[in-house]
Amino acid sequence: MKKLNSLLIGILVIILCLTFTAFRLEKKSGAAGSEIVTIYNWGDYIDPSLLKEFEKEYGYKVIYETFDSNEAMITKIQQGGTAYDIAIPSEYMIQKMMKQDLLLKLDHSKIKGLENIDPRFLDIDFDAGNQYSVPYFWGTLGIIYNDKFIKEKDMQHWDDLWRPDLKNNVMLIDGAREVMGLALNSDGNSLNSKKESELIKASAKLTNLTGNVKAIVADEIKMYMINEESAAAVSFSGEASEMLDKNEHLHYVIPEEGSNLWFDNIVIPKTAKNTKGAYDFINFMLKPENAAKNAEYIGYSTPNKKAINLLPKDITEDEQFYPDEEIMKNLEVYEDLGSNYLEVYNDRFLEFKMYRN
């Protein structure tokens, strides 16, 4: 009997040890979630050293995954295969995610540093009261041109992209909202237009641009422009900043007739496993010194007004990237058009690309 009892006790001890070990492994692997913060962000959209500093300061391990479009991001979150604690979508997609009940409503009592954000970038229509998102970066869509091929006075408006001497010399960002938007803006219309006559006119106008289009791409635009393989391109301000740093002949212009003012904000998906870690990350990124470091590394405009004071003046006084109020009043934020009109924009953009080929 004593031998049997000893055997049972031994088995019990082994079971307890295995259970404890399994729990520790589960916790470290992220199933319990408390030691890991899983972040879903655009590619090359944070200073890597900040992730290491965050891990060191808070004791978390960061799992960092990237996406290349808002649509790819929301699809993966909808599928629910990975429980992201943090995601960084754009404004119109935040609106869509709110409607689909994919986001946690923020507890502002857990957020420290929101007062550091410029009031201009808070309480915007796509997320009134910032109930679901915290500003991360903002910027514009504009034209990059090379002064070896184009004089400054010849590249100030969207219509300048249609100039006959730019045949096969214009790069376009691969985005339906961006390309349809610039065509709409060029005629003085809203880039969120739902008027059939305006959309038809924009499509027809884009057809006339095809001879000037060298390529419709994404990140490759940087290489083309830095290596002077194209005279002009349409891209985002942060991408432009990187190009300008590497080639002194490049310049960035926001057409005065209007363009896109975009925001990428931090959100917490509803499936998050580590909400405490998510709030810690938000608070970490709201610190002025971290926001400034991130802005200097990425090249996009920071919404953190205290961070601006820590950045070099040649950055913050550059109106190409920190435009004045006169320019800002002509900029529009993308609205969630709804699935029907988004399909219209996508179809017209696809027709444009097919016609070009």
Q: In this structure, which amino acid lies at residue 232? A: A
5 within some domain: no
Statement to judge: residues 348 and 277 lie in one domain: no
Residues 238 and 155 reside in one and the same domain: yes
**Any long-range contacts for 346-351 (C-beta under 8 Å, 24+ apart)?**
346/176, 348/176, 348/180, 348/199, 348/202, 348/203, 348/206, 349/175, 349/176, 349/179, 349/180, 350/176, 351/203
* Secondary element (H or E) of residue 316: helix 313-316
146 and 103 within one domain: no
Q: What pLDDT score does 338 carry?
A: 86
Number of domains, the chain: 2
Could you tell me if residue 93 is inside a domain?
A: yes
202 and 276 part of one domain: no
CB atoms within 10 A of CB 82: 14
Does residue 231 contact residue 166 with C-beta atoms inside 8 Å? yes
Residue 338 maps to a domain: yes
- Residues 249, 156: one domain? yes
Q: Are residues 224 and 207 in the same domain?
A: yes
The pLDDT of residue 173 is 94
What does the pLDDT read at residue 33?
Answer: 46
- Judge whether 78 lies within some domain: yes
* Same-domain check for residues 143 and 201: yes
CATH number at residue 327: 3.40.190.10
Q: Is residue 2 part of a domain?
A: no
- Decide if 200 is inside a domain: yes
Asked whether residue 237 falls in the same domain as residue 160, the answer is yes
The secondary element (H helix, E strand) that includes residue 347 is: helix 338-356
Do 285 and 228 reside in the same domain of the chain?
no
Note whether 143 and 176 are same-domain residues: yes
Print pLDDT tens along the chain (357 aa).
444 445 445 555 455 455 444 444 443 433 344 699 999 999 889 999 999 999 999 999 999 999 988 989 999 999 988 999 999 999 999 999 999 999 999 999 999 999 999 999 999 999 999 999 999 999 999 999 999 999 999 999 999 999 999 999 999 999 999 999 999 999 999 999 999 999 999 999 999 999 999 999 988 999 999 999 999 999 999 889 889 999 999 999 999 999 999 999 999 999 999 999 999 999 999 999 999 999 999 989 999 999 999 999 988 998 888 998 888 999 999 988 888 998 999 999 999 998 766
Q: Which domain holds residue 44?
A: 23-138+263-316
Residue 26: per-residue pLDDT:
41
Q: Are residues 89 and 164 in the same domain?
A: no
Does residue 116 sit within a domain? yes
Flag whether 3 is in a domain: no
Q: Is 94 helix (H, G, I), strand (E, B) or coil?
A: helix
Listed in order, strand segments (DSSP E) in the chain are 36-42, 61-67, 86-87, 134-146, 170-173, 213-217, 232-236, 250-253, 259-266, 331-332
Q: Are residues 157 and 96 in the same domain?
A: no
